[in-house]
């Protein structure tokens, strides 16, 4: 495990060196994942992925006075999600109003070393769209499309409901430093996590300013039986339906044979 981890870290370091496009500031941040492919199998009940990496100091630069902070954002595949609001109409509760959140992430987790407002000021967080309060959610009501304001009731309800299903979350102690330059974080994936590709954006902050950034990604996909069934349903609908009917007839017939009394 340890060797595996170092090998992965070495690979990540090489990759980071290969595309050395970091800004003038000295530090560089490296990130890697315990697993880049998450399989959904019949006993899938969620998973924890480990994000780890290191901060490389620049030997030419003097040691900084401030401490490092890391903020990692995991963004799942994008979906159009509708939020409905119920209201009483003629005595019954019906969905009267709705907002479509266009291309909203189906999964969003923000992990950090400290509470976000301690890492950077509100203005910086808003500009970089960091944290659940600042993430841009495009809203469509009838014809206009605009970013929802932060205290919009639909947006608040959307964040709350997604949070209850653990699809959106913010963990302000989610990233821990093992040594002053080695960090580790675990990404909780609930069983409901949708299939698709997930992007990880890791940012390094010092004294309220971002000094380095790196990205990584992983994929959640259906495997084996799950993949077989869902692709059969999609691609051969009629055949799939007929198979289900044959299954129904077979179980019904079997039961009447097994439980036959006369």
State which of residues 42, 62, 123, 179 lies at the interface with another protein (CB under 8 A): 42
Q: Where does this chain touch another protein (CB under 8 A) — which range of 178-186, 199-207, 210-218, 221-229?
A: 221-229
**Between 87 and 123, CB nearer to another protein:** 87
Angle CA 198–23–216, to nearest 5: 15
**Between 23 and 237, CB nearer to another protein:** 237
Assess 150 for contact with another protein (CB under 8 A): no
Please count the residues of this chain forming the interface with another protein, following the rule CB under 8 A: 61
The 3-state secondary structure of 175-215 reads EEEEECCEEEEEEEECCCCCCEEEEEEEEEEECCEEEEEEE
Assess 194 for contact with another protein (CB under 8 A): yes
Q: Where does this chain touch another protein (CB under 8 A) — which range of 2-10, 67-75, 152-160, 172-180?
A: 152-160
Structural element, H or E, at residue 31: strand 28-33
CA pair distance 162, 44, nearest whole angstrom: 20
Phi-psi region of 10 (alpha: psi -120 to 50; beta: other; left: phi over 0): alpha
**Cross-strand bridge partners of residue 111:** 72, 171
Which residue in 107, 89, 116, 124 sits closest to 200, CA to CA? 107
**Between 122 and 191, CB nearer to another protein:** 191
**Do the strands 47-56 and 92-105 form a parallel or antiparallel pair, or are they unpaired?**
unpaired
Assess 43 for contact with another protein (CB under 8 A): yes
Shortest distance in whole angstroms from residue 240 CB to another protein: 5
**Interface positions with another protein (CB under 8 A):** 40-45, 79-88, 91-95, 98, 100, 154, 157-158, 160-162, 191-192, 194-195, 222, 225-227, 229-230, 233-234, 237-238, 240-245, 247-249, 251-256, 259-260, 262
């Amino acid at each position: 495990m340890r060797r595996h981890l170092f090998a992965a870290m070495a690979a990540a370091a090489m990759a980071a060196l290969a595309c050395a496009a970091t800004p003038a500031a000295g530090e560089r941040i490296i990130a890697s994942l315990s697993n880049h492919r998450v399989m959904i199998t019949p006993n899938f009940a969620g998973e924890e992925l480990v994000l780890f990496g290191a901060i490389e100091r620049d030997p030419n630069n003097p040691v900084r006075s401030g401490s490092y902070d890391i903020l990692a954002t995991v963004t799942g595949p994008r979906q159009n999600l509708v939020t409905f609001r119920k209201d009483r109409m003629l005595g019954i509760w019906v969905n009267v109003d709705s907002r479509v959140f266009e291309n909203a992430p189906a999964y969003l987790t923000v992990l950090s070393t400290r509470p976000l407002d301690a890492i950077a000021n509100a203005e910086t967080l808003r500009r970089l769209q960091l944290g659940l309060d600042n993430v841009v959610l495009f809203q469509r009501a009838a014809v206009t499309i605009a970013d929802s304001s932060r205290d919009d009731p639909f947006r608040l309800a959307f964040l709350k409901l997604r949070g209850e299903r653990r699809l959106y979350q913010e963990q302000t102690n989610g990233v821990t430093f093992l040594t002053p330059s080695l960090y580790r974080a675990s990404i909780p994936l609930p069983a409901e996590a949708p299939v698709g590709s997930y992007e990880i954006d890791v940012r390094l902050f010092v004294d309220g300013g971002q000094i380095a950034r790196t990205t990584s990604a992983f994929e959640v996909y259906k495997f084996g039986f799950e993949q077989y069934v869902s692709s059969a349903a999609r691609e051969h609908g009629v055949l799939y339906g007929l198979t289900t009917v044959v299954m129904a007839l077979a179980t019904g017939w079997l039961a009447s044979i097994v439980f036959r009394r006369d």
